[in-house]
Every structure is written in C-alpha cells, then in structure tokens.
Structure 1
Amino acid sequence: MTENEGNIENAPSSLLQDSPRVQKKGILLINTGTPDSPKPEDIRTYLAEFLSDRNLIDVPPFIWNIILNAFILRKRPKITSGRYQSIWTPEGSPFMVHSLSLRDKLQNYLDQHATNTCFVVEFGARYGNPSIEKAFSRFAEAGCTSVTSIPLFPQTAFSTTKTCLEKARSVARTYPNISHQCIKGYSDEPLYIEAIKNIILRSWNYEPGSKLLFTFHSVPLKHINRGDSYVAEIEQSMNTLAQSLNIPRQDWEITFHSRFEDSRKWVGPNIYTVLQVLAQKKVNRVAIIAPGFSADCLETLYDCDVVQRKFFDKACQDEGIESDFTYIPSLNDDDIFVELLATIAAGI
C-alpha cells in the first residue's frame, strides 16, 4: 500500500480509479476535427459533415445541398488532398496528434494534482473521428456521473463554440444518468494570455518597427450583427496580450483569414491585404500567430506557414526588399495550456 492509498480523501486521481467511494467526472475537450487521412475519399467524408452544419451555412438547405454535392464535394477533396499530404506526419494528422497529446497530458496532470475526484479526459471532434458520441460512451463505461465540455476555442463564436456545445448537449441528453456542464471561452483567463505570450517569446524576438500579426478565422459580418461576441473577445484579449509583451500599438495588428468564397460580407481586415500593405511600406520583418487555434492544422501549417509566407515573400521581392517571416505555432499541448484547462474544468 502506498502512502496515499490509506487516505482516499486526499489521494490523487491516479489512485482513485477503482474506488467505488469516489465520484468520477468526465472532461470532454472538443475541437473541429480533421479527415482520417489525406486521401480524397476521407476528405470528402469529412467535408460532407462539416459543410452540412447549419451553424456555418446561411444558404437555404435545398440550394446548398445542390452546391455541396454537385460542385464542392466533387472538386474540393482532390484540390485539398495535396495540401493535407504536405503537412501529414508519420503519426497522422498534426491536428489529431496534438489534440490527443493534449488530452493525455491533461489526464496525467489531473491524476497527479486532483484530490477527492477521479477525472476521465476524452477528446471529441465536432466533425469526424473520434466523435463526441464515442467520448460519451467512454464516459458512461468509466462510470462518470458528470461531464464538463470545453470547446477548445478561446474566443467564442457561433461557428465554433456554439455548434460544438449544441452537439455535446444533444449527445448528453441520451445519457440521463450523466449531468452535463459547458464552458464557453477562456480568452479572458490570465493563463491563456500567459501561454500565448510564452509561445511568442520562445519563437520570435520583437524589434521596434517589426510587425506582429494576430490572425483569426474570419466570420460573416451578419453573425456579429446578430450578437456574436467573437470580434469583441478577440480585440480585448489581444490588447491584453500585446500589453503583456510591451509591444506598442503601431507594431501589432489583428487580421482575419479563411473566408468562404461567397457573396457574404466577412469580418476584416484580410491578412493578405495587410501583408501587401506592409511590404509596400517596407516593413519586411513580420511574425504571424493564430491565437484562436488551439492545435496546429491545415489552416495554420499550410495557409499561414506556407501560403501567407509565399505571398509575403513575393510582395517583399516586388518592393526590392528581403522578407523576414516567422510563423509562431499554436498552443498544441503546451504545459501552461494544460494547466489552464485543469483550472477552468476542474478548479485545480
């Protein structure tokens, strides 16, 4: 018997796994998802689910189904397959590798620090695998009496947090013996600011006159007009972050990327417009970070680190200057990020 096994009330979570006297609580980490492989058929399956979410699509269903099945699902998988292949690792999708590592590190952290409660941590994808349904099944098998769902989006949005929690609540209703709580956003948490700050400091050295760009996935302007707090949360958290870095206002900027190609008006400024203007102003030293993405994925590793880098290189070349472009990675399984999740989910 170990020292802690004799005192269940103060035993860490790792020693409480099989104790019938201890309540088990689940923590569900939710993120968007990724195809099972970079093959076109797997991308098609993923996109079919992703682009059928009415939280993302404003087009009338009848019209959208024609567009989706007759055009997008026929062409897009082949186009994006090569992009996915360029970032895929021997272990699989970087997004999934980082997400599962985050899950495991949070589980280990709670095993070591939690007392009185045994926590079970699962990861569930809003689209694709592993599904939120599978996560709840595992919670039930483990004997959890409650589950706390955390969408891994620091700034809340209709197209991310809202749809993830709607799905989690829908699945939770099929488990009447498990109570369900939700956490919406954490951009105002000091540990979030600290984690992003440390990632930046490890990856890039600020110099006066250089530019730090915070780039976020854009959303339709009509979402903001309907009360989506996404942009307000971005502005508040990035202002706090820049102040903690002691970077003057003229040397950082909020930008947006990944607009859908449609007629809707989207939140800006567009990252490519900003990069073009910076090159024209002879500002050649730029760092880009996407603080709204908790795990590196196609949109960060390809769109930011490849496409935006090439765009800025070309823009600088046209101006007769040499570009100095740095991509700063997402939090992924960062230790401070793990501590943040333990704090907001388990109060540790």
Structure 2
Amino acid sequence: MNFQGQTEYKHKGPKPKKGILLVNLGTPDAPEPRALRRYLKEFLSDHRVVEIPRFLWLMILYLFILPFRPKSSAKLYASVWTKEGSPLLAITKRQRSALQQQLDADYGEAELPVVIGMRYGNPSIRSALKSLVDKNVHDITILPLYPQYCAATTGSTFDSIAKELQNYRWVPSIRFINGYHQTPEYINAISQSITGYIQQSGMPERFIFSYHGTPQRYLEQGDPYYCFCIQTTRLVVEALGLDSEQIISSFQSRFGKAAWLQPYTDVALKSIAEEGVKRVAVICPGFSSDCLETIEEIEVENRAYFIDAGGESYDYIPCLNDSQDHIDMMVQLIKKNSM
C-alpha cells in the first residue's frame, strides 16, 4: 500500500539466516606490557568482574595495578605463547572451524555461519555481531564457552551483547545459552577425557577438579557458580563410578586479599602432598580451552607446589579444546537451542 506523498520501502533480498556466536573470555593481542595494559584495563573495569565501589576500585586499578601488573603478566603470557599466538584464541579458532565443518555437513555449507567474539580483546563481540549481520543473519544463537554460569563471565557476556545491540536499528532474534554444566553431552565429554587418561596412565591417588575462583561474597549474594561447579564434579564422579574420597573440588586464580571460594587449589595440593599423597591428576572442567590459567598456573606453578611439598607424580589432563566429544557437545547444544 502506498499513501500519497509517501514512499513504500520493501526489505527484499535473500531469506535471513540463522547463525552462531561463540564467546570466550579473551586474550591480549600480544605478550607485551602495552597489550596487557590494554587488555587488563578492559577486563578489570568490568563491574561484573570486580564488584566493589567504582571510585575506590578505579583508583586502585589506575594507580597500583595498571602501572605495574602488565609487565609481570606479559612474562607469563610469553611463556605460553605459540606460533599461532594466544593458546586460548588459537584453540577457539580451531573449535569454530570444527564446529562450522560439522554444521555445514548437517545443514549445508554457509547455512549456519559460526563466528568468534571475545568478551575482552579481539576479535570483539562488536565485530562478531557485525560479521553475522553482514552475512544476512538475523537469528543468532549465542554460546558463551563457560559450562558453569557465573555473573562475572556468562552474565558479563550478556551485558556486552545487550549493550552492543542498543545501537542496532533491526535487532536480531537472540537465543542465549547461559550454561551447560548439567547436559549429558558435557558430562560425557569430561568423563571420556578422564577415562582416556586412566587408560593411558592408570589411576592416581587423587583427582583434583580445579575451577576458576570467584570472591566468596559473590556466592553469598546469590551467584550459583559454586553450586554448579560442585554439581559438575558430582555428576562426573557418578558417571565414572569413582570413589568420592579420591576427589577434591578446588578453586584457583584468586586475586587480592579478600576471601575467595575454597579450598584453594594450590593450598589443597600442598596439603595432600604433606599428608603423604604421592600421585595426583588435575583437570579443569570450567575451562573450555587451555589458556594461561591452565597451561602456566596449573601445569607449571601448581605442579611445583605439589612436588616441593613431597608429591612425586603430577599429571594435568588438558581441557576439552577441539576434541570431537567437545565439538559434538556444541552441535547438540546448538540444535537444541536454535533448530
């Protein structure tokens, strides 16, 4: 219908597509102080990550953290950097490629484009959303690669996407997967990873399930992350029929002087070594990709704590990364939430 004096606009063209946005935490662009300063500024300015009064925190951040921490952090990143660059980004790219290949086989090439967006750093969520829209995608399934929901990770991802979409005239349909720690496919993938380790290396005296820590007050204020981590461990232990006495759930990567979720991974490893445990295996079920916190902190730093305290054998079981079980799990999540 055309009214006098008005122009009729018609949005013609190919039928809008569905698409997939994979989101991970992010990484600096290079293992250099300048890049670390830029990355840490964005990361630590997020009110979901640090929930203390903004004026006080920003004063601490700009006066005490950003002038000094980037240099030491850059050295740690340099120790894990590869020819492909950041391990987390390189692995996420492989996950995207494997997922795209499987979706192309199931639905046709380019019918369900998959792109990557990092909550902090590059490629950004802004660029990822633009890439999808440029491909005529107006129905987006968002998969943050955090198995256990946490406000500081999954919640922050939602915030960032919602903020970006405020700039869109035509807001796409959104399906947001806010966690998958209970899904049979995820539990199976973690269980198969542990089974493969046992078949190759035998049974350790203790399995350590190490999750990224958060301040204790986040739990007290209602964040379900701790409960989801403990539930993950229980479901895997039940699936494998392991002796619960062999299992310790612990929390790593604490920052600052406030109380964080306990037991702390480093303290737990020192303690059991001093008690006479000689052999442990550590797995990090809260990380979808190996990164600084697993490659350097768990595989190197915490190994030293255990051995120095009297332990003799320390094995790290890698993250799911781009294993077929992990990709199959992603495909099932996407099919359940977007088809």
TM-score w.r.t. the length of structure 2 is 0.91
In the TM superposition, residue 340 of structure 1 has moved relative to its aligned partner by: 1.3
1:336 to 316, 322, 325: 325
Q: Is the contact between residue 204 and residue 280 of structure 2 (CA under 8 Å) also seen in structure 1?
A: no
Q: Is the contact between residue 169 and residue 180 of structure 1 (CA under 8 Å) also seen in structure 2?
A: no
**SS of the residue aligned with 1:26?**
strand
In the TM superposition, residue 177 of structure 1 has moved relative to its aligned partner by: 4.2
Which residue does the alignment assign to 2:244?
249
**SS of the residue aligned with 2:332?**
helix
In the TM superposition, residue 244 of structure 1 has moved relative to its aligned partner by: 1.7
Distance 1:137 1:251, change over 3 A: same
Matched, 1:130 2:146: no
User: What does 1:1-348 correspond to in 2, within 5 Å?
Assistant: 23-114=16-107, 118-175=111-168, 176-205=170-199, 210-262=205-257, 264-316=258-310, 323-347=312-336
Distance 1:65 1:209, change over 3 A: closer
Range with bigger deviation, 81-90 or 169-178:
169-178
In the TM superposition, residue 87 of structure 1 has moved relative to its aligned partner by: 0.6
In the TM superposition, residue 115 of structure 1 has moved relative to its aligned partner by: 6.2
**SS of the residue aligned with 2:146?**
coil
In the TM superposition, residue 58 of structure 1 has moved relative to its aligned partner by: 2.1
TM-score w.r.t. the length of structure 1 is 0.89
Q: Is the contact between residue 155 and residue 187 of structure 1 (CA under 8 Å) also seen in structure 2?
A: yes
Q: Is the contact between residue 204 and residue 281 of structure 2 (CA under 8 Å) also seen in structure 1?
A: no
Code of the aligned partner of 2:153? T
In the TM superposition, residue 36 of structure 1 has moved relative to its aligned partner by: 0.4
Which residue does the alignment assign to 1:10?
none
Structure 2 distance, partners of 1:21, 1:68, is 48
Q: Percent identity?
A: 35
Structure 1 distance, partners of 2:57, 2:83, is 36
Q: Is the contact between residue 205 and residue 279 of structure 2 (CA under 8 Å) also seen in structure 1?
A: yes
Distance 1:345 1:208, change over 3 A: closer
**SS of the residue aligned with 1:32?**
strand
In the TM superposition, residue 242 of structure 1 has moved relative to its aligned partner by: 1.1
Structure 2 distance, partners of 1:237, 1:57, is 25
Code of the aligned partner of 1:174? N
Q: Is the contact between residue 140 and residue 172 of structure 2 (CA under 8 Å) also seen in structure 1?
A: yes
Code of the aligned partner of 2:117? G
Q: Is the contact between residue 204 and residue 326 of structure 1 (CA under 8 Å) also seen in structure 2?
A: no
In the TM superposition, residue 204 of structure 1 has moved relative to its aligned partner by: 4.0
RMSD of equivalent CA atoms: 1.8
Range with bigger deviation, 207-216 or 273-282:
207-216
- CA-to-partner distance for each residue in 1:237-263, whole Å, 9 max, x for gaps? 21110122221010011001111113x
Give the length in aligned residue pairs.
Answer: 323
Range with bigger deviation, 94-103 or 241-250:
241-250
Q: Is the contact between residue 196 and residue 291 of structure 1 (CA under 8 Å) also seen in structure 2?
A: yes
In the TM superposition, residue 22 of structure 1 has moved relative to its aligned partner by: 5.2
Code of the aligned partner of 1:123? I
In the TM superposition, residue 203 of structure 1 has moved relative to its aligned partner by: 3.0
Structure 2 distance, partners of 1:26, 1:333, is 20
Code of the aligned partner of 1:334? S
- CA-to-partner distance for each residue in 1:260-284, whole Å, 9 max, x for gaps? 113x221100112211221122111
**SS of the residue aligned with 1:126?**
strand
Structure 2 distance, partners of 1:46, 1:170, is 19
Distance 1:23 1:335, change over 3 A: farther
Structure 2 distance, partners of 1:125, 1:95, is 10
Code of the aligned partner of 2:274? Q
Structure 1 residue runs without a partner (length 5+): 1-19, 317-321
Q: Is the contact between residue 39 and residue 81 of structure 1 (CA under 8 Å) also seen in structure 2?
A: yes
Structure 2 distance, partners of 1:209, 1:145, is 49
